[in-house]
């Protein structure tokens, strides 16, 4: 059975909130988000949850002041998250990478006039939907418009042949999703209605994430359907006035998150993220653009069988955790197996809605958390799961620090070609992914259904984003990826490899991580048999000459991926040539014996090729060998020159050969 912490973590991922009214346990959750199994578990563990809430409420009551409505007449600051998005927008005002487009389908009799009035009523209800963000004295501020200037454009596609309507609707919806916003002038909410037939419509709404997040899309949908239903019945909106708005939260966040509270959060994350935060070297098809990140993205999906989803859920229960923990551990295993790095950092989203006052408010509350997992010791999956569970629970406990403040306090190595701190992101059942809060709504003459994944704006802020969502037919996997780095075929292979790992976990969670299945049967046969055929005649050429032939054939293909860099064939050849010229200047020629003692790295391959290109013969010395053994090997070989790295050069000072030290 999962621990109480794991249960509450799973519920928090589903944006479920608990509170006490006297001795009674209350909770609020998005519509259809809690399965019958979860509801039964909440009921069976009610006393544990109540005790936990009493302790938590007692410890936090003095820390968390209530969110209250502030005066709107003065300068209205942005939240930390909004501020960072605003500054990023100043650098790339024409980018649509932070757009949040949503599409819903109407089937039946639609009253377009009342739908437009419902959207206007929704904008009146949520101030953030009529807010713009100009600069005042060089600093961004929120300006809330009192009037609603929102109309619903209608594009009638009924004149087109039936077979062309869907394609044209997709084209128009995608164009809307890719249109940038002007944050200073507004509006930052746009809507569009596409009519496909007399009883079928698509409603597209698009917002910049400076005013919304995934859960906000659910709130938008729920409020809109509630208001429209009431208007159809000739009644006023049934929704009560919100006690606070997003601007009140922004002010509260800046007042509360400072001093000792801020330092405590920063201290935890600094300790977790100390040391090198190098990029996870994934098998990219193209070198990373060195200058500017284009955010050019693409998307690929795969559906896992329902039986596998059920097996993974059962395994998560047995391991004392959640499906989120199992799947993120499998994803991290994939990254580890690809990169051979033991230190893996990926991020995941937190709803950021821990305070009851903001439950039904639209705004940018979502926060980015990071998980750092170490694979030292080649653990079993069960052991890895324990590490992931602990890291997930700890991160959730320290989720109040906005990612934007962490970037300020822990300045990463900034690069225009990639995002700071991490490049890989994971999400399981995010609020917008499968319509948990956006389930189909059936009215007397109309059915309203959310269409997740209908459009993709073609942008991504990270190298790789994995979104997994539970559906009736199984477990859906969607990879959003950096199209400047990866081809679709590579991402398709990643999806298959991840499925293989998940199946291996279910079959035996006590397998070592290195033994979990990765390759498909055809891939294994190609490696074991096709690539090992020895009937192929060997060309009459040296290794470095064969390498140069490959350079001519594919100069821009990736030749080697190291811990901190990757080189194309052309770049590797150029650096090997420079090494060869240098070695020749040091007397290396035909059959000159050159000892090489360098740890595994990109520089090791450059040096080996350089020795061969210079005409020499290399003698490898393992840096892990005892010093006496290395010296003995040098004396027996009578080498003329030793090529090593700077931190080892002193150990060869008495061997009688010339020592060339490389800075690695």
Cα–Cα dist 381/510, whole Å:
6
Asked if the bond preceding 495 is cis, omega within 30° of 0, the reply is no
- Confidence (pLDDT) at 41: 78
What is the structure's pLDDT at 62? 44
Instruction: Tell me the average pLDDT across 151-163.
Output: 95
Q: Between residues 356 and 579, which one has the greater pLDDT? A: 579
Residue 250 contacts residue 404 (beta carbons within 8 Å): no
Amino acid 434: pLDDT: 40
The per-residue pLDDT for 581 is: 93
Mean pLDDT of 476-503: 93
| 555: pLDDT strictly greater than 50 | yes
Instruction: Give helix then strand counts, H and E, for the chain.
Output: 19, 24
Closest CA to 554 of 285, 308, 234: 285
Residue-wise pLDDT tens digits, 599-652: 888 989 999 999 999 999 999 888 888 888 888 888 888 888 899 988 888 888
Q: Are 612 and 544 in contact (CB under 8 A)?
A: yes
pLDDT at position 28: 65
Yes or no: say if 347 and 368 are a contact pair by the CB < 8 Å rule. Answer: yes
> 450: closest CA among 109, 177, 102, 209?
102
- Average pLDDT on 570-581 reads 93
Range of lowest pLDDT (138-142, 200-204, 256-260): 256-260
Task: Give the mean pLDDT of 455-472.
Answer: 84
Q: Look at residue 438 in the predicted model and tell me its pLDDT.
A: 61
Per residue, what are the HEC states of 495-544? HHHHHHHHHHHHHCCCCEHHHCCCCCHHHHHHHHCHHHCCCCCCCCCCHH
Kindly tell me if the per-residue pLDDT of 82 is higher than 80. yes
pLDDT of residue 412: 55
Of the pLDDT bands very low, low, confident and very high (cuts 50, 70, 90), residue 420 is low
| Nearest residue to 325 (alpha-carbon basis) of 385, 366, 375 | 385
Q: For residue range 180-216, list pLDDT tens digits in order.
A: 999 999 899 999 999 999 999 999 999 999 999 888 9
* pLDDT for 435: 40
Q: Is it the case that residue 254 has pLDDT exceeding 60?
A: yes
* 73-83 mean pLDDT: 90
Predicted confidence band at 23 (pLDDT cuts at 50, 70, 90)? low
Q: Is residue 582 very low, low, confident or very high in pLDDT (cuts 50, 70, 90)?
A: very high
Of 94-108, 129-143, 261-275, 499-513, which gets the smallest average pLDDT?
Answer: 261-275
Q: Is the pLDDT of residue 234 over 90?
A: yes
Report the C-alpha gap between 525 and 497 in whole angstroms: 15
What is the distance between the alpha carbons of residues 382 and 362, in angstroms, rounded to a whole number? 39
What pLDDT, on the 0 to 100 scale, is given for residue 170?
Answer: 94
Backbone angles phi, psi at 234, to 5 degrees: 75, 20
Q: Compute the mean pLDDT over every residue in the chain, rounded to the nearest whole number.
A: 85
Q: Tell me how far apart the alpha carbons of residues 258 and 429 are, in angstroms, rounded to a whole number.
A: 32
Q: What is the mean pLDDT of residues 513-522?
A: 91
Residue showing tokens 């006297």: 22
Q: What is the mean pLDDT of residues 20-25?
A: 64
pLDDT at 566 > cutoff 80:
yes
Q: Of the ranges 31-35, 149-153, 432-436, 500-504, which one carries the lowest mean pLDDT score?
A: 432-436
C-alpha distances (whole Å) from 557 to each of 228, 293, 294, 554, 573 are: 55, 20, 20, 6, 12
Given this model, what pLDDT does residue 223 score?
94
Section 397-406 average pLDDT: 82
Kindly state the average pLDDT of the residues 579-594.
90
Q: What percent of the chain has pLDDT over 90?
A: 41
* pLDDT above 80 for 376: yes
* Residue 334 pLDDT grade (very low, low, confident, very high; cuts 50, 70, 90): very high
Average pLDDT for residues 249-274, to the nearest whole number?
A: 84
**b (16+ CB within 10 A) / e for 446-467:** bebebbbebbbbbbbbbbbbbb
* pLDDT tens-digit series, residues 38-68: 777 777 777 777 776 666 554 444 456 788 9
Residues 86-109: tens digit of each pLDDT: 988 888 888 888 899 999 999 999
pLDDT per residue over 427-462, tens digit each?
A: 887 654 444 446 678 888 999 988 877 788 788 888
| pLDDT for 61 | 42
Q: What is the pLDDT of residues 278-329, one digit of tens each?
A: 667 788 888 877 666 777 889 998 999 999 999 999 999 899 888 999 999 9
The confidence score (pLDDT) of residue 473 equals 83
Rounded to whole angstroms, the Cα distance separating 119 from 191 reads 9
* pLDDT(19) > 80: no
Q: Provide φ and ψ at 575, rounded to 5°.
A: -70, -35
């Amino acid at each position: 059975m999962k621990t109480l912490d794991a249960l509450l973590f799973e519920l928090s991922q589903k944006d479920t909130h608990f509170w006490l009214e006297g001795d009674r346990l209350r909770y609020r959750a998005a519509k259809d988000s809690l399965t019958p199994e979860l509801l039964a578990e909440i009921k069976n563990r009610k006393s544990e949850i109540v005790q936990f809430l009493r302790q938590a409420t007692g410890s936090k009551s003095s820390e968390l002041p209530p969110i209250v409505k502030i005066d709107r007449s003065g300068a209205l600051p942005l939240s930390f998250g909004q501020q960072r998005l605003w500054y990023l927008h100043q650098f790339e005002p024409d980018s649509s990478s932070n757009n949040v487009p949503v599409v819903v389908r109407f089937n039946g009799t639609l009253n377009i006039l009342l739908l437009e009035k419902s959207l206007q009523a929704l904008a009146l209800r949520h101030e953030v939907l009529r807010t713009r963000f100009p600069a005042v004295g060089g600093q961004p501020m929120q300006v809330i418009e009192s009037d609603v200037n929102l109309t619903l454009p209608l594009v009638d596609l009924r004149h087109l042949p039936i077979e062309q309507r869907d394609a044209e609707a997709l084209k128009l919806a995608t164009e809307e999703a890719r249109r940038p916003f002007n944050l200073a002038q507004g509006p930052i909410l746009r809507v569009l209605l596409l009519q496909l037939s007399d009883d079928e419509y698509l409603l597209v709404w698009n917002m910049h994430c400076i005013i919304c997040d995934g859960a906000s899309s659910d709130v938008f949908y729920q409020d809109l359907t509630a208001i429209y239903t009431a208007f159809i019945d000739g009644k006023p909106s049934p929704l009560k006035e919100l006690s606070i708005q997003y601007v009140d939260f922004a002010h509260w966040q800046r007042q509360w998150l400072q001093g000792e509270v801020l330092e405590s959060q920063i201290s935890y994350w600094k300790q977790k993220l100390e040391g090198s935060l190098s990029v996870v070297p994934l098998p990219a098809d193209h070198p990373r653009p060195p200058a500017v990140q284009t955010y050019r993205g693409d998307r690929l999906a795969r559906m896992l069988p329902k039986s596998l989803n059920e097996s993974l859920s059962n395994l998560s229960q047995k391991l004392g955790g959640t499906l989120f923990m199992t799947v993120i551990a499998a994803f991290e295993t994939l990254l580890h197996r690809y990169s051979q790095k033991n230190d893996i950092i990926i991020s995941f989203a937190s709803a950021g809605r821990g305070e009851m006052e903001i439950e039904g408010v639209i705004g940018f509350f979502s926060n980015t958390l990071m998980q750092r997992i170490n694979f030292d010791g080649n653990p079993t999956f069960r052991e890895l799961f324990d590490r992931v569970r602990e890291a997930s629970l700890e991160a959730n406990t320290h989720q109040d620090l906005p990612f934007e403040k962490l970037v300020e306090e822990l300045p990463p190595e900034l690069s225009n070609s990639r995002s700071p701190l991490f490049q890989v992101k994971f999400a399981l059942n995010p609020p917008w992914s499968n319509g948990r809060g956006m389930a189909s709504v059936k009215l007397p003459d109309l059915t309203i259904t959310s269409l997740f994944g209908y459009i993709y704006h073609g942008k991504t802020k990270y190298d790789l984003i994995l979104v997994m969502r539970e559906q009736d037919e199984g477990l859906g996997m969607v990879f959003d990826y950096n199209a400047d780095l990866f081809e679709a075929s590579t991402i398709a292979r990643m999806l298959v490899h991840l499925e293989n790992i998940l199946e291996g976990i279910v079959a035996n969670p006590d397998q070592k991580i290195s033994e979990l299945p990765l390759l498909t049967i055809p891939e294994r046969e190609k490696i074991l048999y096709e690539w090992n055929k020895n009937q192929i005649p060997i060309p009459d050429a040296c290794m470095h000459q064969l390498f140069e032939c490959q350079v001519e054939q594919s100069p821009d293909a990736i030749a080697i991926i190291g811990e901190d860099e990757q080189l194309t064939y052309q770049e590797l050849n150029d650096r090997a040539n420079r090494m060869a010229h240098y070695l020749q200047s040091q007397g290396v020629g035909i059959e000159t014996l050159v000892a090489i003692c360098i740890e595994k790295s990109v520089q090791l391959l450059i040096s080996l090729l350089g020795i061969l290109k210079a005409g020499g013969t290399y003698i490898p010395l393992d840096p892990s060998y005892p010093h006496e053994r290395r010296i003995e090997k040098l004396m027996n070989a009578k080498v003329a020159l030793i090529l090593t790295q700077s931190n080892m050069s002193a150990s060869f000072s008495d061997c009688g050969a010339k020592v060339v030290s490389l800075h690695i």
